[in-house]
Structure 1
């Protein structure tokens, strides 16, 4: 028999060992994480974020936009669906799910990632809404994930957390510009991929893949698909994050950004011939993707993904460890200082003004002849891009004022600003370009482009932004006609009170023209359509699509008067209009979703009144903010 003291010491050591093991164990295991995820989903459909324990500084993101907790989908989420594919990572205290729910009775694919702190409170909520009712229906028909996703892999068959991420990252590296001669041996021979619930590998049904007309690509396996080089239209996959690594099930949940810069003009086919790129890829596109991977050993065995479109160049809302400086390099060229009207706009007989130089540089994708300041900033639809990216690579035509169509240029020499408004083409896709140029001490410091592209519902999805709700008034590239003389004429004695423009924007927000000076014959066109009501009546909310939108829009924010030209009476204004979809109304269910509209407007002021408004509208994810507004 052992002495009592020895037994006591042994017991004490065992207790210490157990306590240490408990200290090292995750504070929230799989069951705990999945319970919190369930609480979140139930809180969402109950429209009650208070049901979820959160930290005071919780970050809530919806389709890459930071929102206040309780905004966006919290207002309109319907019923939870049957499909719920969960990924748990006790080590990082994160959990994610690809699931389904309804939104105004319409099915959506809903992706969520949560980070849980030691005390059980949620500190990060990242969601992606894919408004693909057909895809949601596929998932509902599946009801549950394929069983292999849910199996616990024996310890001896698992690879490390780091190795899971390394092997998954090879998928994105291989897809980016998709070299047909690359090494794609990281795919399992039995690999399959789901996209919005649709199997897009090893299919023999003859359906075309994505926006293309290729009917053979989906018949191939994962490795064979990459060996065709077909996916080379994906020009960059950035902001790659692997927040949830489910080691027990050997699965990785990844969040990435796919860029398609519009420069790839042909798709290689599996039979060796080339296909023209679909019209959707005429212009730069960015897609936010959520994707899950199940590995078998070292190889990718199952892939499940969904995505939605965000503005081109959009960065992730969470740090992906990538620091990118998009400021431009200066040139030795210098413009006159000061730069007068002729310097900025050119003359009737000489199209060599600064505006013309920038348009020519855009067409040639050559900035070397421009007077650029060191650190010059370029933005496109509110996102900072590198000079030479975006429009610079896709624009093929620019309409010229007074000669070939809908175009105007104007300036404010006192402020060193100049503007262009006119029709453009990117490949075969029409668009409207509003351009601001800012000059300081003979150097361009800012080039800001607002591009509203035609969105047609043609074959294979046409050119419509993926997963967006319909606009009240769609512009599909219809001819906008020439700008009337009233827009183009100059008046040396004109005056523009800044308070008039502020009152106009306030009136749009309040749906009231009470404090806005409109000319009696004021004309308003939204996305090229002129209504039969006066400007004042539309502002007051009358008509089916007042001001090209709904009479239940709310905040008008990020208001920016880009250029005010007293001589011509022209003002270039851009703003973001929120539609939270939190009010009952007659809108169709698919249209009644939280949205933000980027509205760029060319306003004509004459005799201290607004006499004409040309307005172009582009849908944005709800809560979208211009990068200029985020600058310190």
Structure 2
């Protein structure tokens, strides 16, 4: 069972995220309960609150695809659709609320599809309609007998990242029927073998572990700079922020590489874990310059 205190804490934190998205299109950041010295970042760069997307957003969805509440840590992370200059974008927001009820940390991740790297053909993966509503089943409570601990949640997330980046499928504690959704698009176990706007690709019909075993992820060199872990054992959820580094089609490369040139892929990824296995994955991803880092981490 989840204690009433923790339920109240979740509702309290959820109201902060709702208010953030509600105020964004008007630029009304001054109406947020902000602590003195609040740290605000957009895509890893420390900005003054009111800059970045706060100055350019023109709309935000009323409901969002993913929310992870870490009540004991006073943190919430959520993402959904926004509009900026007539373009769709995805906005991820992490808020930390102090004991006084003031927001003292804000991290945001804006996936702007018109700014995608020229090394990737097309505008990138996006299903805006799906990202505008909650992911089915993600917030369902996990039965206590199948409920993971905080340590087990973190191990599951790290096992996935280790396995995908090393090509070792055995490191990933994942169920065969696990779905992975990236920017709202299902990228595994697709019966049609197609991604929107792409040529047929048999890899999209494979499961998570099979893709790794078959070498589909071999273009990933490393999963680095992991951090911002949020955990909710009652719902079997863990979120982690990281980078995948892609060296590109380097000289002597054999086989398929989805990227011509080098780039780094920042991601916020959420895993739902039940009975020791990852059952569902939700992620938002973008393409940034190779070697990009969250510079703001060094300023804290």
Indicate the TM-score class for this superposition, using the shorter chain for normalisation.
0.7 to 0.9
Contact 1:599 1:616 in 2 (8 A): yes
Structure 1: any 5+ residue segments left out of the alignment?
A: 1-337, 346-352, 455-462
C-alpha distance in 2 between matches for 1:585 and 1:472: 23
1:341 aligns with 2:13: no
Counterparts of 1:586 and 1:513 in 2: how far apart (Å)? 19
- Determine helix, strand or coil for the equivalent of 1:438: strand
In structure 1, C-alpha distance between the alignment counterparts of 2:25 and 2:92, rounded to whole Å: 15
Alpha-carbon offset, residue 472 of structure 1: 8.8
Tell me, in whole angstroms, the C-alpha distance in 2 between the residues paired with 1:471 and 1:601.
23
State whether residues 471 and 619 of structure 1, in contact with CA within 8 Å, keep that contact through their aligned partners in structure 2.
no
SS at match of 2:130: coil
> Residue 354 of structure 1 aligns with which residue?
16
Other-structure match for 2:194: none
Q: In the alignment, is the contact (CA less than 8 A) between 2:246 and 2:259 conserved in 1?
A: no
Report the counterpart of residue 278 of structure 2 in structure 1. Answer: 610
Query: CA deviation digits over 1:47-95, x for unaligned, max 9?
Result: xxxxxxxxxxxxxxxxxxxxxxxxxxxxxxxxxxxxxxxxxxxxxxxxx
Which residue number corresponds to residue 278 of structure 1? none
Question: Which residue of structure 2 lines up, in the alignment, with residue 371 of structure 1?
Answer: 33
Paired residues of 1:399 and 1:407 also in contact (CA < 8 A): no
Mapped to 2, the partners of 1:409 and 1:478 lie a distance apart of 16
**2:230 corresponds to which residue?**
563
Alignment match of 1:535 (pick from 208, 222, 240): 208
Q: 1:476 to 1:613 in 2, by over 3 A?
A: closer
Q: Is the 8 A contact 2:68 2:239 kept in 1?
A: no
1:411 matched to which residue of 2?
Answer: 69
Cα 1:535–1:509 change in 2 (3 A) is same
Give, in whole Å, the separation in 2 of the partners of 1:520 and 1:389. 43
CA spacing shift, 1:432–1:540, aligned 2, 3 Å: farther
Deviation at 1:397, TM superposition (A): 2.5
Larger Rg, first or second structure (1 or 2): 1
Query: Which whole-Å CA distance do the structure 2 matches of 1:451 and 1:574 have between them?
Result: 13
Name the CA distance, whole Å, in 2 between partners of 1:541 and 1:393.
45
Give the Cα–Cα distance (whole angstroms) in 2 for the partners of residues 378 and 478 of structure 1.
26
* 1-structure distance, mates of 2:232, 2:298: 27
Specify the SS of the correspondent of 1:378: strand
TM-score of the aligned structures, taking structure 2 as reference length? 0.79
Q: Who is 1:552 aligned against?
A: 219
Taking a change above 3 Å as real, the CA distance of residues 435 and 501 of structure 1, as seen in their structure-2 partners, is same
Match of 2:289 in 1: 621
Decide whether the 8 Å contact of 2:59 with 2:84 is kept in 1: yes
State how far apart, in whole Å, the 2-side matches of 1:566 and 1:408 are: 16
Out of 35, 60, 64, the residue aligned to residue 398 of structure 1 is 60
1:33-60 CA-to-partner distances (Å, cap 9, x unmatched) read xxxxxxxxxxxxxxxxxxxxxxxxxxxx
Cα displacement string for residues 515-557 of structure 1 (whole angstroms, at most 9, x for unaligned residues): 22112310113341422111111233544xx4xxxx2221211
CA distance 1:499–1:472, change in 2 (3 Å): farther
The CA deviation string for residues 176-232 of structure 1, in whole angstroms up to 9 with x for no partner, is xxxxxxxxxxxxxxxxxxxxxxxxxxxxxxxxxxxxxxxxxxxxxxxxxxxxxxxxx
- Is 1:439–2:97 an aligned residue pair? yes
Counterpart for residue 584 of structure 1: 253
After TM superposition, give the deviation of residue 478 of structure 1 in Å: 5.2
1:448 lines up with 2:107 in the alignment: yes
Aligned mates of 1:564, 1:448 — CA distance in 2: 17
Relative to structure 1, the CA distance from residue 564 to residue 539 in structure 2 (aligned partners, 3 Å threshold; closer, same or farther) is farther
Q: How do 1:246-395 and structure 2 match up within 5 A?
A: 340-345=9-14, 353-395=15-57
What secondary structure is seen at the aligned counterpart in 2 of 1:500? helix
Cα gap change, 1:483/1:427 in structure 2, threshold over 3 Å: closer, same or farther? Answer: same
Shift of 1:386: 1.0
CA contact (8 A) 2:66 2:135 kept: no
Contact 1:558–1:629 (Cα < 8 Å) also in 2: no
Partners of 1:504 and 1:614 in 2: CA distance: 13
Please name the residue that 1:599 is paired with. Answer: 267
CA distance in 2, matches of 1:540, 1:373: 48
Shift of 1:450: 0.9
In the alignment, does 2:81 pair up with 1:423?
yes
Distance 1:360 1:616 in 2: 21
Cα separation, 2, equivalents of 1:506 and 1:411: 25
Q: Given the superposition, is the C-alpha separation of residues 472 and 363 from structure 1 closer, same or farther in structure 2, using an over 3 Å criterion?
A: closer
TM-score of the two chains, using structure 1 as the length reference: 0.40
User: Structure 1, residues 391-413: CA drift from partner, whole Å, max 9, x if none?
Assistant: 11222222233xxxx52323111
Contact 1:500 1:516 in 2 (8 A): yes
Question: Over aligned residue pairs, what C-alpha RMSD do you find?
Answer: 2.8
- Which consecutive aligned stretches of 4+ in structure 1 deviate over 6 angstroms post-superposition? none
Deviations 1:8-30 (A, max 9, x none): xxxxxxxxxxxxxxxxxxxxxxx
1: CA distance between counterparts of 2:38 and 2:289?
27
Listed one character per residue, the Cα deviations across residues 408-430 of structure 1 (whole Å, up to 9, x for unaligned) are 32311101101112122223211
Q: Give the structure 1 partner of residue 137 of structure 2.
A: 486
- The secondary structure found in structure 2 opposite 1:620 is coil
